[in-house]
Amino acid sequence: MHCGMCLPTCPTYDVTKNEKHSPRGRIALMRAIADDKLKLSRAFGEEMSYCLGCLACETACPAGVDYAHLFEVARADVERSGVMASPTRSVVRSLLLRVLFTRPRLLRLVGRLLWIFQASGAQSMMRALGLTRLLPGRLRTLEPQTPLVLPRFSHQMIRPVEAPKGDKRYRVGLLTGCVQDLVFADINRDTADVLLANDCEVVTPAVQSCCGSLHAHNGESATACVLARRMIDQFDPFDFDAIITNAAGCGSHLKTYGRLLAGDPAYAGRAAEWDRKLKDINEWLVEIGFRIPEAKTGNNEALREVTYHEACHLCHGQKITKQPREILRSIPGVKLVELTESNWCCGSAGVYNITQPETAATLQQRKVGHIEATGAAVVATCNPGCHLQLANGLKRSCSDIRVTQPVTLLAQAYKNEAESVF
Amino acid sequence: MTNDNSSLRGELLRILPDLDVRSEAEELLAYSYDGTAALQQVPSVVVFARSTEQISEVLRYASSHGIPVVTRGSGTGLSGGSLPSPGCILLCLSQMNRILELDPANLTLLAEAGAITAAIAEAASGAGLFYPPDPGSMKISTIGGNVAENSGGLRGLKYGVTRNYVMGLEVVLPDGEVIWTGNKCVKDVAGYSLRDLFIGSEGTLGVITKVLLKLIPPPAARKTMLAVYDDMENAARTVSAIISAKIIPCTLEFLDRVTINCVEDYASIGLPREAEALLLIESDGHPAAVEEEAAAMKEIALAHGASSVETASTQEQAAGLAAARRTAFSALARVGPTTILEDATVPRDRLPEMVRHIQEVAERHQLRIGTFGHMGDGNLHPTFLTNEKDEEQMHRVEVAMKEIFAKAVELGGTITGEHGVGVAKKAFLPGAIGELNVEVMRRMKRAFDPRGILNPGKIFDPSPAA
């Protein structure tokens, strides 16, 4: 099938109007390689890196083509073939993907060092002295985007098992993620609070591996399998009513463990059960009929306008679009203002803003323009990558619009109602 | 081969240093197909045109060297019209996509050929006007491609096809000369209507670079209904009855059971999966007329075997139904690896016979055929759900296709209502319109394009097949 219905939804085709940069074009290239009509070349590898993997094409495809899977297989082929290999790239990739993102303790150590660097003022001093100019080109442009690491990580904020105050209706596992854990541990805390407020017992192991989404999306499928097994060992899906993730990019990958481990007799059964139990926090809350927070008594404040940016891997990858909006609308004092092109990629796309800074910046500006046009004071999203991308984009345009996540606003609303008692 | 390609690229760059011309394998492969199933041909080079002047220069060069040129927009065509010819320069107009002028005083819109049809419809609507032609692929198809293929759509029944909205064209002739044909005058009978020759010429006579379109005032009211049938022929009879009752609604669309289920799998809008056929009926115009027309059609549908007729309660619901219908062709691809869409059209009083024939053919050759289409226009899209790798099955598809077209012609119909002949249907053309008609077309082609460089091998071969 090559009807072309995907073309207008593809951010890279939109920029270049070149078929090669469209889902239909990329699939044609993949097929030509599979049919031995085309050599797997560096140009093909570059094309695969040029794709954001935003999956808007999947949502648009009436024929039901599984682009995500084709794309992951193609990226894995590119890595295996070595067409993109260069000494620096290989070192950086294996350091990041095979070493750092497979060892949670090491990742936290690096995070801690980064925090010391930032909190001690060394970063600002380096910036003030202009020392950042000493960094190589690409790192120099990225340096101002370095996320601010939080002083405490998830395990310091969430106990391994926390019980709800009232009756326990559900027992859930909470995934703290890797980037999320370093940069947004507070959002993990909010997630736990919201779950507790909805009668869930929350199980959060202190040390958790990366879920492997970064690896699968970047062609490291073998490592992705190793990490998936490790994850299933840590959270036996048969022990829980649900396993909760609050990062869209992870969730989109986590829901495919069944396929990833289908050929592994020791894990296939549990992996299939895992897929059934794995829930995005927004999805889960709506599924169990989350409690609508009560309005704070005597609250006469004007409605605060909040807009919502859809993380690609939530709306296209997981088809979760209504639930976060339902949550936002349920919050007293919040008025949801729709964002133009809310499901158009912001350019974060995993490590895309590092590998393809120009296209990422174009998409970031387009997104920031739309956000500013809503007149909202706050923009909510459901993925750490998008969160950082939006925050950086808004900072660059000197906007004071705040970035947050629906679950944080909900947690805040529950806190507000508690305060109103006093 | 690669050497030739890069030397052709070098030659073009020598004449036009700013030209965006590509010859790497990945680039060529991405331009080796359009929306038509099972057809592929790699071009020699791909040129991304940015102006009429560039196109003129490229054609001048191609003409003097006898190099074939194939024009392409978004590549959504369904008859292989923009499939590369061997050794050709693939001229891609997708980057020439500006809307140049909207003239509310004359109700016209001027756009570059690469402008997306939906963008034109939106621009018109933004000015309180209406561009009715709405091909199923309008979200991505280009206006130049629509004109070249004379595309139809869901509103063809009442509002006609692309031809009815083209007032003028800028065209680059094969030797590089640029002509304008037509203007903003509603009436104009000065000489031959050259404009009409280019409409539906499938890129064989010239390269359309700008299009002047007629816009109309939008209808004041609209009503959308869904009639459900447990017998396909009853749906066809309803259509014949509506037309013979002298009612021309804007839309009378038909979906069979296979199509209903595929569309539902994609769009989940709540179509009745167990129905054998659906008619999507839309009436628009003056509110009073719409009420009256809708009521009359509902009565006719019920009298001709509809098990129910429901009216969309909101605008969104109505738009959702039409949008879902638009995805029918693509959604059918869920059934088999290869989806071959046909485009048979018959006079509307022969629809029941045609529908019955398609069902018989499918049974006789043991093929899966999903049928949907613009039944109000008599335009059906029997769609073969197959696998191109199964040679034996593809042979049966070929035989079945011949039988369907033979029947369409026998009933006074045609082999294509809106997709064009391209390469997919040129074998059927002489049988459908007669050898002499094809010969007259060949003479016209020679007059415009004596060296035969523009989209060669499309619609017909230069000389009658031996």
Q: What is the pLDDT of residue A131?
A: 67
Q: What is the pLDDT of residue A135?
A: 61
Average pLDDT on A337-345 reads 97
Alpha carbon distance B246, B130 (integer Å): 24
Judge contact between A107 and A180, C-beta under 8 A.
no
CB atoms within 10 A of CB B128: 10
Instruction: Give the pLDDT band (50/70/90) at residue A94.
Output: confident
Q: Is A238 exposed, middle or buried (0-12, 13-18, 19+ CB in 10 A)?
A: exposed
Residues of chain A with pLDDT > 70: what percent? 93
Average pLDDT on A384-400 reads 95
Judge contact between A217 and A256, C-beta under 8 A.
no
Instruction: Give the pLDDT band (50/70/90) at residue B14.
Output: very high
Q: Which of A5, A22, A29 is facing B26, going by the closest CB pair?
A: A29
Interface test with A, best of B22, B26, B82, B329 (most A CBs within 10 A): B26
Residues 33-92 in A contacting B (C-alpha not used; CB under 8 Å):
37-39, 41, 43-44, 47, 61-64
Interchain proximity A43–B24, CB inside 8 Å? yes
Residue of A nearest to B114 (CA): A17
Instruction: Give the pLDDT band (50/70/90) at residue B131.
Output: very high
Q: Is A46 exposed, middle or buried (0-12, 13-18, 19+ CB in 10 A)?
A: middle
Question: Strands A278-280 and A242-245: what pairing?
Answer: parallel
Give the global pTM.
0.93
Q: What is the pLDDT of residue B105?
A: 97
Torsion angle defined by CA atoms of residues A389, A395, A400 and A401, in that order, rounded to the nearest 10 degrees: -10
Interface test with A, best of B2, B97, B330, B385 (most A CBs within 10 A): B330
Instruction: Give the pLDDT band (50/70/90) at residue B282.
Output: very high
Chain B positions touching A17 (Cβ under 8 A) are: 48, 94-95, 97, 114
Alpha carbon distance B35, B47 (integer Å): 19
Instruction: Give the pLDDT band (50/70/90) at residue B158.
Output: very high
Q: What is the pLDDT of residue B3?
A: 59
Q: What is the pLDDT of residue A179?
A: 82
A246-298 pLDDT tens trace: 999 999 999 999 999 999 999 999 999 999 999 999 999 999 999 999 987 65
Chain B positions touching A2 (Cβ under 8 A) are: 33-35, 37
Judge contact between B204 and B454, C-beta under 8 A.
yes
Chain B positions touching A28 (Cβ under 8 A) are: 29-30, 32-33
Q: What is the pLDDT of residue A138?
A: 59
Residue of B nearest to A43 (CA): B26
Residues 10-29 in A contacting B (C-alpha not used; CB under 8 Å):
17-20, 22, 25, 28-29
Give the ipTM of the model, two decimals please. Answer: 0.94
Interchain proximity A62–B95, CB inside 8 Å? no
Chain A positions touching B74 (Cβ under 8 A) are: 4, 7
Ranges of H-type helices in A205-321: 213-217, 221-234, 248-254, 257-260, 268-277, 281-287, 312-315
Judge contact between A335 and A303, C-beta under 8 A.
yes
Judge contact between A268 and A338, C-beta under 8 A.
no
Judge contact between A40 and A23, C-beta under 8 A.
no
Q: What is the pLDDT of residue A140?
A: 63
Average pLDDT on B221-235 reads 95
Q: What is the pLDDT of residue A89?
A: 81
What is the overall mean pLDDT for chain B?
A: 95
Alpha carbon distance A229, B84 (integer Å): 48
How far B338 CA sits from the closest chain A CA (Å)? 6
The yes-or-no verdict on residue A142 having pLDDT over 90 is no
Residues 403-462 in B contacting A (C-alpha not used; CB under 8 Å):
none
Tokens of A405: 């996540």
Q: What is the pLDDT of residue A422?
A: 47
The yes-or-no verdict on residue B336 having pLDDT over 80 is yes
Chain A positions touching B76 (Cβ under 8 A) are: 3-4
Alpha carbon distance B406, B413 (integer Å): 9
Higher pLDDT pick, A221 / A146: A221
Q: Which residue has the tokens 């057809």?
A: B39
Interchain proximity B25–A62, CB inside 8 Å? no
Average pLDDT on B126-139 reads 96
Angle at B442 between CA B441 and CA B446, to 5 degrees: 115
Alpha carbon distance A20, A18 (integer Å): 5
Higher pLDDT pick, A125 / A390: A390
Interchain proximity B330–A61, CB inside 8 Å? yes
Report the number of secondary-structure helices (H) and strands (E) in chain A.
Answer: 24, 9
Lowest model confidence (mean pLDDT) among A57-71, A112-126, A214-228, B418-432: A112-126
User: Coil, helix or strand for B21?
Assistant: strand
Average pLDDT on B258-280 reads 94
Alpha carbon distance B15, B63 (integer Å): 14
Chain A positions touching B30 (Cβ under 8 A) are: 18-20, 22, 25, 28-29
Instruction: Give the pLDDT band (50/70/90) at residue A154.
Output: confident
Tokens of A180: 């999320």
How far B345 CA sits from the closest chain A CA (Å)? 22
Lowest model confidence (mean pLDDT) among A78-87, B41-50, B387-396: A78-87
CB atoms within 10 A of CB B64: 12
Q: Which residues contact A334 (CB under 8 A, 6 or more apart)?
A: A303, A304, A306, A328, A409
Q: What is the pLDDT of residue A132?
A: 63
